């Protein structure tokens, strides 16, 4: 009887498989990879090229700068990967995609894993996106040299939520975005540094006051730095009175 792999799995389709695992191979996430908590497989898109030069791109129809990844090559690579991992959602890192949120990270982390396509040049031929059930995801309103680093960021965000990666689940629940707010400030020893003191409430030992201070600080920081998040937070908490 074949053994079912229950680990969280990540497949990365890329022209530069040597970039992986990169930062995913160190610290807590890297330890989880070594311990078999999750797995990572790279797929070299160039292996699916059919000409002697192993071409993966060509000039865009209609003219213009740059090159476009060929649909025949990338689609064959996708199909071969999906044949092995049909249960994994297919994601393409693209500045045209929906912004990545902590909510989506939780959804992906709770599933069996993901298959991510790392684009290069001017991106994929549109017909590939129209043919396959690809979810386009963006890290923000900026452009990278390729999708590999964006894919690593997304994979890291998912893996760190897996059981056994980070020791304290409480530390995860206190992070930015988990409650719709940015995180409150943190302090440690020494209590006085560079003429600045740790806020007295944090050394009072009064846990209710500490929690209240942290909540108010998180709200203040969110209101000042991310008005979009603050508006959503206020709308989602209609019973609370805000200053």
Query: CATH code at 191?
Result: 1.10.1270.20
Q: What are phi and psi of 10, to 5 degrees?
A: -125, 125
Provide the 8-state DSSP code for 22.
G
* Residue at which a domain ends, from 135, 159, 183: 159
Chain-centre distance of CA 56, in angstroms?
A: 26
Residue 169 lies in a domain: no
**Is residue 167 assigned to a domain?**
no
Which residue in this structure is represented by tokens 């995860």? 172
Range of the domain at 77: 8-159
Q: By C-alpha distance, which of 43, 42, 24, 41 is closest to 32?
A: 24
Note whether 84 and 142 are same-domain residues.
Answer: yes
pLDDT score for 60 = 95
pLDDT in tens, the chain (243 residues): 555 578 999 999 999 999 999 999 999 999 999 999 999 999 999 999 998 899 999 999 999 999 999 999 999 999 999 999 999 999 999 999 999 999 999 999 999 999 999 999 999 999 999 999 999 999 999 999 999 999 999 999 999 999 999 975 555 656 667 788 999 999 999 999 999 999 999 999 999 999 999 999 999 999 999 999 999 999 999 888 776
Same domain, 99 and 193: no
Dist CA 50 CA 100 (whole Å):
34
Check whether residue 121 and residue 225 sit in a common domain.
Answer: no
For CA atoms 104, 11, 112, 110, the dihedral sign is negative
Q: What is residue 239's predicted lDDT score, i.e. its pLDDT?
A: 83
End position of a domain, from candidates 159, 191, 225 = 159
Count how many domains the chain has. Answer: 2
Residue 3 falls inside a structural domain: no
- Residues 141 and 107 placed together within one structural domain of the fold: yes
- Asked, for residue 68, whether it belongs to a domain, the answer is yes
């Amino acid at each position: 009887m074949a053994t079912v792999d229950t680990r969280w799995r990540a497949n990365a389709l890329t022209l530069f498989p040597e970039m992986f695992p990169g930062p995913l191979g160190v610290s807590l996430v890297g330890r989880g990879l070594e311990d078999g908590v999750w797995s990572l497989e790279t797929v070299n898109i160039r292996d699916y090229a059919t000409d002697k030069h192993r071409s993966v791109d060509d000039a865009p129809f209609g003219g213009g700068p740059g090159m476009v990844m060929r649909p025949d090559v990338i689609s064959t690579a996708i199909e071969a990967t999906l044949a092995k991992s049909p249960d994994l959602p297919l994601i393409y890192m693209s500045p045209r995609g929906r912004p990545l949120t902590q909510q989506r990270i939780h959804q992906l982390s709770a599933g069996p894993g993901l298959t991510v396509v790392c684009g290069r040049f001017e991106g994929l031929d549109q017909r590939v996106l129209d043919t396959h059930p690809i979810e386009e995801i963006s890290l923000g309103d900026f452009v990278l040299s390729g999708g590999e680093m964006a894919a690593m960021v997304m994979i890291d965000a998912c893996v760190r939520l897996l059981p056994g990666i980070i020791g304290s689940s409480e530390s995860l629940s206190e992070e930015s975005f988990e409650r719709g707010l940015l995180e409150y400030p943190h302090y440690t020893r020494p209590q006085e540094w560079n003429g600045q003191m740790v806020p007295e409430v944090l050394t009072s030992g009064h846990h209710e006051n500490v929690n209240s201070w942290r909540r108010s600080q998180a709200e203040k920081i969110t209101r000042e730095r991310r008005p979009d998040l603050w508006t959503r937070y206020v709308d989602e908490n209609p019973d609370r009175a805000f200053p």
